[in-house]
Amino acid sequence: MSGHARRRIASLVCLVAGVGLLFAGRFVQFDDVSGFGSERWIFPLGILALILAVGVIELVLWRRTKSR
């Protein structure tokens, strides 16, 4: 598998993980239009989403500096 294919798969996995976290915390609701989420899960899942985002950014920056 080429490096380009691996990056594409990694990007898709991160996207699915991010949307999954948003859905689990009820930030994204496909069956409710009231606009209210589960208050209990907002902070912990927000922290997980932040950690995932920072991890992906670190991974991209690390690979860029490694390739130079």
Owning domain of residue 27: 3-67
Total domains, the chain = 1
Q: Is 29 helix (H, G, I), strand (E, B) or coil?
A: coil
* Spatial separation of the C-alpha atoms in residues 55 and 11, rounded to whole Å: 12
* Spatial separation of the C-alpha atoms in residues 17 and 27, rounded to whole Å: 14
Q: Which amino acid is at 19?
A: V
* Whole-number pLDDT of residue 62: 74
pTM: 0.44
Tell me what percent of the chain is helix, strand and coil, each rounded to the nearest 5: 75, 0, 25
In 15-57, which ranges are E strands? none
pLDDT in tens, 7-61: 778 877 887 887 787 777 766 655 555 555 566 667 777 788 788 888 888 877 7
